Amino acid sequence: MPDTATMLDTRSTAAAAVDLVLGEVESLLTRIRQEQSDRLQELAEAVSAADRVFVHGAGRSGIAVRGLAMRLMHLGKPTFVVGETTTPAIGRGDLLLAVSGSGSTPGVLRAAESACGAGARVAAVTNNASSPLGRLATVTLTVGAASKTDHSGTASAQYAGSLFEQGVALVGDALFHDLWQRSGLGAADIWPRHANLE
């Protein structure tokens, strides 16, 4: 059985980790708000104007952007996750929201190229606005967090692309909140769209 000193040390280490994550996320979101407010507005308008929204990201970035897809569905926006069996063809009037920290994730980049070829618009969320994905996009939101290959600990002390993925999830929630407020719908109005086959 661990002694009391070890238990206290473990608790303080866990609390310090929470403080670290909180501090990094707060700093990241503050920078995005200050430096990317115009891009956030453009992204919100692109999502709002799209007939349908398709989201795509690999790994944890994909998980983060799926949260936004769910919330857009709750708002009544036809929204699809690239790669799912029920996702239809993209076309004119549609928006692909593509997420890649590097901006060069092969599958995400191929999807963006295909979307452009089909006449859809592409919005990118990335760390690198001058990346291949950033250059394809009509709207690019630069998150500015550590990439998954940055092991220096300079941009973030967290592992790999954790801060980027956290930023994607929280910017997605902020984007949803903005669109929800614009919609004039109340919580009771959108609640019936929540899954009932859980």
CB distance 195 to 87 below 8 Å: no
165 is known as an active-site residue: yes
Give the CATH number, domain containing residue 117. 3.40.50.10490
Q: Is residue 92 part of a domain?
A: yes
Q: What is the pLDDT of residues 81-114, one digit of tens each?
A: 999 999 999 999 999 999 999 999 999 999 999 9
Q: What is the pLDDT of residues 22-35, one digit of tens each?
A: 999 999 999 999 99
Q: Using the 8-state DSSP alphabet, how is residue 4 labeled? A: H
Q: Is residue 75 part of a domain?
A: yes
Q: Is residue 109 part of a domain?
A: yes
Q: What is the pLDDT of residues 104-158, one digit of tens each?
A: 999 999 999 999 999 999 999 999 999 999 999 999 999 988 777 776 777 888 9
User: Rounded distance, CA 5 to CA 181, Å?
Assistant: 49
Q: Is residue 42 part of a domain?
A: yes
Q: Is residue 194 part of a domain?
A: no
Q: Is residue 105 part of a domain?
A: yes
Q: Is residue 176 part of a domain?
A: yes
Mean pLDDT of 4-28: 80
User: Rounded distance, CA 29 to CA 21, Å?
Assistant: 12
Q: Is residue 195 part of a domain?
A: no
Structural domain containing residue 34: 4-148+155-186
> What pLDDT score does 123 carry?
98
CB distance 99 to 64 below 8 Å: yes
User: Which of 45, 113, 165, 198 is flagged as catalytic?
Assistant: 165
Pairing label, strands 53-57, 95-99: parallel
Instruction: Give the ranges where the chain is alpha helix by DSSP (H).
Output: 4-35, 37-49, 59-74, 106-117, 132-136, 162-183, 187-190
Give the chain's domain count.
1
Q: Cα 89 vs. chain centroid, distance in angstroms?
A: 22
Token pair 């970035």 is found at 61
